[in-house]
Amino acid sequence: MTSNINIEVTLAEDKMPEVITWTAPHGGVSDPQKAKAILLGLWDGDEKSAMRIDLWTSKMMVDEMNDFFFQTIFGMADTYVRATRNTELAKEMKEFAKEFLKKASNALEEAQKQQQ
């Protein structure tokens, strides 16, 4: 059996992603779902290297990007502990994610104050 996850990116004239949609028919997501950003990591076992596709639309706001990164790092900790059973390092990743969000939110607030 083969299962597909389909990602479609519509580009604006400046080649920036304008619309990102995805489906995963075998995962129960048959209707296209919109996304403002995507972080896709792939591991090449032969080359022992990670490949990434990082895309976001111009509609992605900085506060949303901060939340997206927080949730991604936090979720990666759960994946990491399932794969390695290293609960201590996963706990550190979650603490880093919380501190990251706090610092990112503070930086955004400061930038907004300076713009006023």
- Residue 116 confidence class, pLDDT cut points 50, 70, 90: confident
Q: What pTM did the predictor assign?
A: 0.90
pLDDT digits (tens, 9 = 90+) for 72-98: 999 999 999 999 999 999 999 999 999
CB-based contacts of 12, cutoff 8 Å, min separation 6: 18, 58
